[in-house]
Amino acid sequence: MPFDDDGGDDGANATELVETYGAWRIALLAVSLGYSKHVLADFLLKFIIIGEAGTGKSCLLHHFTHNAFKAHSQHTIGVEFSSRLIKLGEKKIKLQLWDTAGQERFRSVTRSYYRGAAGAILVFDITDRNSYVNLSRWLDDARALASPNLVTVLVGNKSDRAEEDREVSWAEASRWASQHGVHYIETSSLTGENVEAPFMLAARQILLSIESGELDPEKAGSGFWQWEFDKREETKFYQTEAERLDSGDRRPLLLTDCADWTVNLAWGGR
């Protein structure tokens, strides 16, 4: 299968996978990444990486998941999927990362993947003003379609470029971020400078919201998944959704058999 159990992507195109295997099978595959190689996560967060084409979104994501620059990167077609396990304090968090195409012709396809996202990494190229002027449209789409609690980090990419190539200043981008209620970080997909910062910052803010009680994991649209583990003999399996509801079980669970454990995936964004 095109999913990499170590996290990261193998060039998996989500649009093609859904067409080939069906949406529910892809969901199960995505879920399986949460416990691949017996690594269990406390939370699974869905992040989307959005912005104009050519801003370096795929290279940024590749450096974050593989700790290396992707020398030969082509424009993303539709949506591509990656993942990475991170640790914040004592909590293990699996990031489910959806890299979206920036071209206008894929807009209707990529917007369908915004649903249920807890975090958004909004990327522009500091040497290309055109990628900056359209930021409001990208942010408005994300806030309209993803979780109402969406945490967004604005990323000015290609900070390794010479200062004379810069078309958007730090001060201007920081001002825009402040006006729109998002964080701002500058990164370089080439050198790796700050590539982890936007993902860690977004995940940390979401975790703090959970721990403070500001974000309720039981509330529909919360935008994240919480893992619960039950011993197999304590878990009931149902042939149909109707059978589950008839039994009085009202938990919004997706049951997936995993070795000696059953992983019950409770998704607040259902």
| pTM given for the model | 0.69
| pLDDT of 5 higher than 50 | no
Residues 16-66: tens digit of each pLDDT: 544 444 444 444 444 444 444 445 788 889 999 999 988 989 899 989 998
Q: Give, in words, the CATH class of 14-21+43-212.
A: alpha beta
How does residue 68 score in pLDDT terms, banded at 50, 70 and 90?
confident
User: ∠ at Cα 70 (69, 72), nearest 5°?
Assistant: 140
Residues 146-201: tens digit of each pLDDT: 888 899 999 999 999 999 999 999 999 999 999 999 999 999 999 999 999 999 99
Collect contacts of 110-115 with beta carbons under 8 A, ≥24 apart.
110/50, 110/78, 110/79, 111/141, 111/145, 113/14, 113/48, 113/79, 114/48, 114/141, 114/142, 114/145, 114/146, 115/145, 115/146, 115/269
The one-character DSSP state at 156 is E
65 and 82 Cβ atoms separated by less than 8 Å? yes
Return the domain boundaries, the chain: 14-21+43-212
CB atoms within 10 A of CB 230: 14
Distance CA 112, CA 42 (A): 26
